[in-house]
Structure 1
Amino acid sequence: MGTKDPSVKELLHALRVAGGQGSARLDERDTGETFGWEKEQSYRDFADEMAELVDLQKRLFADGSSSVLVVLQAMDAAGKDSTIRSIFSGLNPAGVDVNPFGVPTEEETAHDYLWRIHHHAPADGKIGVFNRSHYEDVLVVRVKGFAPERVWKKRYSHIVNFEQMLADEGTTIIKIFLNVSRDEQKERFEERLQRRDKNWKFRAGDLDDRARWPEFMEAYTDALEKTSTDDAPWYVVPADRKWVRNVCIARILRYHLEEINPRYPDPEPGLDEIVID
């Protein structure tokens, strides 16, 4: 990449939500940001990042002493599914668990809202990916009035405490908000309507959510600012350009895996003396 290319730490600092009022700045963040990157070079950089991620995931799986949880949140058509395909399909599927959280089942609604989430927290050695998550209970629940304010307002502290417990038990938490513009969402919705292979992705309810865009942005702002912590940070990734999104997320994931620094276990004693006939 060119001279404008930020270092990984500079990039993460630019994307990260520090926490506290005014730190999300969603209305000030450029959803089409390129960081001075060139598109063709970004594909090569992404391939390099993925090669490193493959090795790091192998080590994480073999080490088996810690785990990683990646939380993906976004408005419809922001690219959650394509992010998962681009980043995680290239890793060993034995070490990756992807969980989409849709409308709660009858059994799930009979329990507290974190019950179904905790069940899918990643085991040691694994990378867990949440496609939507417990944050729906302070987002869609809030915007659509599925619970009164006195109920959902308490959930920010519940979530912080829940995530802190996971972190204390050895889970590295990476939370990513795919920041897509309303104009880009419109183009992607129109593509879904025009292409037969994408018709199935479109729901009439998507337009209802789109009509509530300002309310969702307000809900996301509160969620990001109230729950971004040192042990469970939020990153706001520009999502209008998929190639930028992919490089950003690969670098975020690589950085945190390198911080874990997983290691292959020592071989069994005498392994170098074994002779196989």
Structure 2
Amino acid sequence: MTALITGASAGLGEAFALQLAKQGADLVLVARSRNKLNLLAETLRGEANGQVTVLAADLSSADAVDNLIAEVILRDLKIDILVNNAGLGVFEDFLATTFAQQVQQVDLNVRALVALTHAFAPGMVERRCGGVINIASTAAFQPLAGASVYAASKAFVLSFTEALSLELEKTGVTITAACPGPVATHFFAKMNPTLNAKQMDQPTPVVRDILRGFERGERVVYPGKLANRLGTWGARFLPRNMILRLALKTTSKLNQS
């Protein structure tokens, strides 16, 4: 079994690498920092017997995504599990930021995820095994003023994943969307004010929950605190204007501006 993990150098990506390595998987680690990936690869090679391949790439670049796919094919790596974990969130008002900042989220959170899924899922279907884990968010369930493009990108990930899961449900391939709440990773480290530990889940148990749901063939997984799932129910049943304003209170506390 070979698993390709994006955003593998820290946080959830690192936790995925550690847990999948313990399960005996060969790993393809992808992130921007080759140095961080090499350090993680050394750790993994010392703890597990699987092969570890490091491929540095900035997946917000379309060319880098294409080059990554080409490199995987050139090395004849058969990807059995794809973990689309790399992501970017801009928690600032839309007009207070540059277009480049906002569209980078779309390129990484949406375009790269779709491109890698389209590249590697056909091999899984052909072999009638494996699957894709796409990291969405509880942000996928409602618009977030102050993080408008980020929330919209995660809504895309959730919708795309659920639809693709249905398309492939008889192929032996599992397609799972994970919808965590805040997780104690570098993603939230620079938020102002900083979230405290009690408000966040830890990466290791979150990834454990995700992998357990994936192994069960679940279409959507809500890892971590029960409050994460309960919060998505409110987004479905409360009046839309109320949800918009409640969500704004949350993003206002995290807004960097």
TM over 0.5: no
TM-score, with normalisation over the residues of structure 2? 0.39
Higher Rg: 1
TM-score, with normalisation over the residues of structure 1? 0.37
